[in-house]
A and B are shown apart, each in its own frame.
Chain A
């Protein structure tokens, strides 16, 4: 599992590194996220929070992640983000593609949402 993750991290290394480095924590992306607005501006819905706590964590651990960590990440990247691609970053970080990358890594590890679950 780790090898597959590392392979994809290698492919997108430059983009991830730059995205994580340039994020100024300005929170401007938050205002463009309807999930954030609709959830009483709860910071866990901020696009920056979502990408830093998903792909950011995977990147910092250099892909050495376990299933539990990916399972914990599942609500952040699936439930709290619908990939509407509307989040705006003044520094040009492509947040949706970062979240999508985190989803790809989860999928490669067999972690993905089940749409016939009863909520």
Chain B
């Protein structure tokens, strides 16, 4: 699923400085599952923002509402034009797709993101997520033994390892495994090493490393990451 993480509070506060009536819209889909933008997080962010505004003597009203999915208009129930009219701006606790969709549905209102969309990833544990797909649109997993060279190789190489592979590890650090070493081992185990020779056209990727999303309350638990 899509993994996201809340923006720093100061950044959100700055986005809202010129508005007095704000609606915070949560998403019951991926953002909720990765503990970033569900109903519970909407309530928590609203409480934090209200406190912040109060401390600074600002007269702002902030309400919350959570839809089932911000990427599907069928689930916008309760978000009527009448309701939206009451607010000066909207903050969205959904992924980038949800924010854009909300902005498209309510064109007259400024819509601000409260989350940073991080990756398409797997759930390693509660509040701990790791990237597995960068939605490159050219999936080569069939030839790489189910190991993605785009997300798991620091250079996103498509056709074998670079010269930096070192005893199964990547040159950027010993804590990073070399994706192409793992691909070789996996294909060898499955007796289909011939797949590694299938040349894939080059893609223009910048150097990238695996991105890990750890939600704020779980920072202490997963500090080794």
Q: Give the B-binding residues of A (Cβ under 8 A).
A: 8, 11-12, 83, 85, 94, 96-97, 100-101, 103-104, 107-108, 112-116, 118
Q: Is B55 an interface residue (CB 8 A)?
A: no
When the two chains form their complex, are residues B127 and A116 in contact, meaning their CB atoms are under 8 A apart? yes
Not counting A112-B39, A116-B126, a sample of 11 additional A-B residue pairs whose C-beta atoms are within 8 angstroms of each other reads: A8-B78, A97-B77, A100-B68, A101-B77, A103-B68, A104-B68, A108-B78, A112-B66, A115-B32, A115-B33, A116-B35
When the two chains form their complex, are residues B77 and A96 in contact, meaning their CB atoms are under 8 A apart? no
Count contacts on B: residues with CB < 8 A to the other chain: 20
- Candidates B32, B40, B72, B77; contact of A104 at CB < 8 Å: B77
- With CB as the reference atom, state the residue of chain A lying closest to B39: A112
| Minimum Cβ distance to chain A for residue B130 (Å) | 17
With a cutoff of 8 Å between Cβ atoms, the chain B residues found around residue A11 in the complex are: 78, 80
When the two chains form their complex, are residues A115 and B35 in contact, meaning their CB atoms are under 8 A apart? yes
| Minimum Cβ distance to chain B for residue A80 (Å) | 15
Say whether chain B's binding surface is mostly helix, strand, loop, or mixed: loop
Q: Is B161 an interface residue (CB 8 A)?
A: no
With a cutoff of 8 Å between Cβ atoms, the chain A residues found around residue B33 in the complex are: 115
With a cutoff of 8 Å between Cβ atoms, the chain A residues found around residue B32 in the complex are: 113, 115
| Most B CB within 10 A of own CB, among A94, A97, A112, A118 | A112
| Cβ-closest 7 pairs across A and B | A112-B39, A116-B126, A100-B68, A104-B77, A100-B75, A115-B33, A104-B78
Q: Is B38 an interface residue (CB 8 A)?
A: yes
B107-134 to A contact mask, C-beta < 8 Å, 1/0: 0000000000000000000110000000
With a cutoff of 8 Å between Cβ atoms, the chain A residues found around residue B34 in the complex are: 115
Q: Name 28 interchain pairs, CB-CB below 8 A, sorted by A.
A: A11-B80, A12-B77, A83-B75, A85-B72, A85-B74, A96-B74, A97-B74, A97-B75, A100-B68, A100-B77, A101-B77, A103-B28, A103-B68, A104-B77, A107-B28, A107-B39, A107-B66, A112-B28, A112-B38, A112-B39, A112-B66, A114-B40, A115-B32, A115-B34, A115-B35, A116-B35, A116-B126, A116-B127
